[in-house]
Amino acid sequence: MTQDRPLADFIAGLPKAELHVHHVGSVSPRIVAELAERHPGTVPSDPDALKEFFTFRDFAHFVEVYLAVVALIREPEDIRMITYEIAADMAGQGIRYAELTCTPYTNVKAGIPIEAFVEAIEDARVAAERDHRVRLQWCYDVPGEFGVEAAAETVTYLDAAPSSLVGFGLGGPEIGVPRPQFKPYFDAARAAGLHSVPHAGETTGPQTIWDALNDLGAERIGHGTSCTQDAALLQHLVEQRIPLEVCPTSNIATRAVEHLDQHPIKEMVAAGAVVTINSDDPPMFGTWLNQEYEIAADLLDLDADGVADLARTAVDVSFLDDAGKRELRREIDDHATGWAQR
């Protein structure tokens, strides 16, 4: 990290939107430890042991650890607590709006009815906006490791969906989980008015991204790391203005990219792609959104104006309502103007 302190300070105070961040993956070590004490099992409650627990060998190991944390969430109050605490952590980073990716399938399978799940996240959402000025909306995510059964069941949850549900995604492993098989479920979600936001091209090649576009109607691509390997694909993403949800530290932690200086974000931006900066599963990867902005500024050689443009892009391609977008863009502009006048 070579960012100087003033730019880091600018980023810390910059109002931001985050579009690719996972619900369970955003639970801080402090809260994971509390859950582990409530529900003793395979996840350690000691902070040092947790740090070692969150050291991933590869993407498959990350999924294994992620599911172990999911297994700690056994009651609606667990869901309510983690959601509110995630929002409080976001507020400390200047995040004003987030589209939080939830995976209700795993919680329902653990015995929490979907109605109780929705009540818990909605209660936390209202409290977070009141207490911390953080506005949340939801994307329901299909855990790819559970196949089409998980997709079919997740679609049934749309009957009890709150108005704050805006997206329908597909996460988990990509290898061995072809995207076309999920087409009927994405068709149903889109017919219900949801936006399509699948992960694609994180640990697989460009064809996964093409499949997400052609079969799942993707409006944004989660990660899209391999898009630079296919010139036609990259050109298509640029021409159609399909945003990429880029998560640099995540890609290193899961070994999707070997080193930060090899990250394709530079090629994406040079080609004219729409890029947003996100943290994915921040505590699990030892990062936070402000650090991801610092990394992006370093890789892209951005000054404060360039960083502010990244924040504006995230707002523009979000699923926030128009009034909310105008207000958040005004906050970004005010912060940038105030910084320039210092």
In sequence order, what are the residues at sequence separation of 6 or more whose Cβ sits closer than 8 angstroms to the Cβ of residue 335?
10, 13, 14, 15, 308
Distance from C-alpha of 230 to C-alpha of 235, rounded to nearest angstrom: 9
Q: Is 99 a catalytic residue?
A: no
Phi, psi for 299 (deg, rounded to 5): -65, -35
**Stated pTM of the model:** 0.92
- State residue 37's pLDDT score: 81
- State residue 253's pLDDT score: 86
pLDDT-based confidence at 33, cuts 50/70/90? confident
Tokens of 93: 């980073």
Distance from C-alpha of 126 to C-alpha of 278, rounded to nearest angstrom: 23
Chain mean pLDDT for the chain: 93
Q: Using the predicted structure, report yes or no on whether residue 3 has a pLDDT greater than 60.
A: no
Half-sphere exposure of 288 (CA within 13 A, CB side): 17
Percent of the chain with pLDDT over 90: 80
Name the residue type at position 246.
Answer: V
Phi, psi for 289 (deg, rounded to 5): -65, -40
Distance from C-alpha of 89 to C-alpha of 107, rounded to nearest angstrom: 22
Exactly one of 34, 202, 219, 292 is catalytic; name it: 202
Helices (H), 281-321: 289-300, 304-316
Name the residue type at position 67.
Answer: L
- State residue 4's pLDDT score: 56
pLDDT-based confidence at 222, cuts 50/70/90? very high
Q: Higher pLDDT residue, 25 or 251?
A: 251
pLDDT digits 0-9 by tens, 248-290: 999 998 889 999 999 999 999 999 999 999 999 998 888 999 9
Going along the chain from its start, the domains and CATH numbers come out as 5-340 (3.20.20.140)
pLDDT digits 0-9 by tens, 117-151: 999 999 999 999 999 999 999 999 999 999 999 99
pLDDT digits 0-9 by tens, 144-190: 999 999 999 999 999 999 999 999 999 999 999 999 999 999 999 99
